[in-house]
């Protein structure tokens, strides 16, 4: 279904550098392509110090425009990560010099993974909350000592800068930007198009419950985990979960614990708690409604579980993340 959009084009620039991590580029661009197929007037521009780049072995990327000598208006400038051993210092410095004057003409800067290091070197993260891949957090803090570097989230937004932890989180970050720019209904439709069962907010830790317990190959357990995450408000019973996974209740409990390291009910409770955290960050709903939507039933039960994992009250936790 195509949506009605204003005809004003959305101008998006992508900084192309040698050694780029393929999914850092392809993931966010697939979000934009899906939005374009829904009718969004997206115009992509690829800039870099070289007209072509090696990519995925023998493949070559071409059609890259030279870095403009003057700043050009962009709605979004995407800066993706590079494999460190393949990154060319001369090209990186040219890109940093360009970022310094292009940033002011870009409505939003979005860095994926080590792309945040380029923003840090350009002095564009001073005083801002930011993040990067967990292996690069210390390096980013050294490069940008006045930045407020966080390692406990998958992406951040501060002023006109979005930074993300890299790889799959670039998709989450682009969906966030898309929802803010064109509306949440478009972002949700793109997420469904990409078969993303869950859109993560920026508040999840980089190693979060959405990924925890997924490092196994049992398709029955994966099917159940997908079903739980897709409908956490449902009053799941052990019998219903056993039926969904085509196991007996006893077999499901033993199998789930062996594969994930968590009891089934503890896993479900952690999913619900993470959803409650996300809703507290993304909505102004009262705690009672959040409790209902996330499957706790009422705010008293949510508070009871909350106390097991958080030191602040829900209200205080929410205020701290609004800063």
pLDDT for 12: 98
pLDDT higher than threshold 60 for residue 203:
no
Classify residue 20 by its DSSP letter: B
pLDDT higher than threshold 60 for residue 225:
yes
Tens-digit pLDDT profile for residues 5-45: 667 899 999 999 988 888 899 999 999 999 999 999 999 99
- What would the two tokens of residue 153 be? 């989230």
- Ranking 70-79, 138-147, 225-234 by mean pLDDT, the lowest is 225-234
Domain boundaries 10-193, CATH class = alpha beta
pLDDT for 110: 97
d(CA 164, CA 168): 9
- Ranking 50-64, 197-211, 287-301 by mean pLDDT, the lowest is 197-211
Position 85 confidence tier, pLDDT thresholds 50, 70, 90 = low
pLDDT higher than threshold 60 for residue 72:
yes
Distances (CA, A) of 80 to 8, 29, 176: 26, 11, 16
pLDDT higher than threshold 60 for residue 198:
no
> Which phi and psi angles does 203 have, rounded to 5°?
-85, -10
Position 206 confidence tier, pLDDT thresholds 50, 70, 90 = very low
Domain boundaries, the chain: 10-193, 209-323
Nearest Cα residue to 80 out of 129, 146, 12, 147: 12
Tens-digit pLDDT profile for residues 261-286: 899 999 999 999 988 988 888 788 99
pLDDT for 207: 44
d(CA 41, CA 7): 7
Tens-digit pLDDT profile for residues 281-309: 878 899 999 999 999 999 999 999 999 88
Task: Give percent of the chain with pLDDT exceeding 90.
Answer: 59
The CATH number given to 209-323 is 1.10.10.60
d(CA 73, CA 85): 32
**What's the whole-number mean pLDDT along residues 123-151?**
92
Distances (CA, A) of 207 to 120, 300, 319: 24, 28, 24
- What would the two tokens of residue 51 be? 């007209």
pLDDT for 42: 95
**Is 15:79 a contact under the CB 8 Å cutoff?**
yes
Position 323 confidence tier, pLDDT thresholds 50, 70, 90 = low
Mean of all residue pLDDT scores within the chain: 88
pLDDT for 241: 96
d(CA 251, CA 180): 44
**What's the whole-number mean pLDDT along residues 169-195?**
84
**Bridging pattern class, strands 148-149 and 129-130:** parallel
d(CA 323, CA 319): 7
Nearest Cα residue to 255 out of 227, 220, 223, 294: 220
């Amino acid at each position: 279904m195509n949506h009605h959009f204003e005809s004003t084009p959305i101008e998006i620039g992508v900084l192309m550098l040698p050694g780029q991590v393929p999914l850092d580029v392809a993931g966010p661009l697939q979000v934009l392509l899906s939005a374009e197929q829904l009718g969004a007037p997206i115009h992509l521009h690829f800039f870099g110090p070289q007209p072509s780049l090696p990519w995925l072995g023998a493949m070559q990327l071409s059609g890259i425009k030279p870095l403009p000598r003057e700043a050009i208006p962009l709605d979004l400038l995407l800066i993706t990560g590079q494999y460190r051993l393949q990154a060319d210092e001369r090209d990186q410095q040219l890109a940093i010099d360009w970022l310094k004057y292009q940033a002011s003409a870009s409505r939003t800067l979005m860095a994926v993974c080590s792309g945040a290091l380029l923003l840090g070197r350009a002095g564009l993260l001073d005083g801002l909350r930011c993040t990067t891949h967990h292996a690069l957090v210390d390096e980013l803090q050294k490069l940008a000592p006045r930045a407020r570097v966080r390692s406990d989230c998958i992406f951040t937004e501060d002023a006109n800068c979005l930074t993300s932890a890299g790889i799959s989180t670039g998709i989450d970050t682009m969906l966030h930007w898309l929802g803010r720019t064109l509306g949440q209904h478009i972002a949700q439709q793109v997420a469904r198009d990409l078969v993303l069962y869950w859109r993560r907010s920026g508040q999840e830790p980089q190693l979060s419950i959405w990924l925890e317990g997924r490092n196994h190959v049992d398709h029955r357990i994966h099917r159940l985990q997908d079903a739980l995450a897709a409908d956490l408000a449902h009053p799941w019973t052990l019998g219903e979960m056993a039926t969904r996974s085509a196991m007996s209740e006893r077999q499901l409990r033993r199998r789930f614990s062996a594969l994930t390291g968590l009891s089934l009910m503890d896993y479900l409770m952690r999913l619900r708690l993470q959803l409650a955290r996300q809703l507290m960050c993304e909505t102004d709903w009262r705690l009672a409604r959040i409790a209902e939507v996330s499957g706790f039933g009422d705010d008293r039960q949510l508070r009871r579980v909350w106390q097991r994992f958080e030191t602040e009250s829900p209200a205080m936790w929410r205020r701290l993340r609004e800063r």
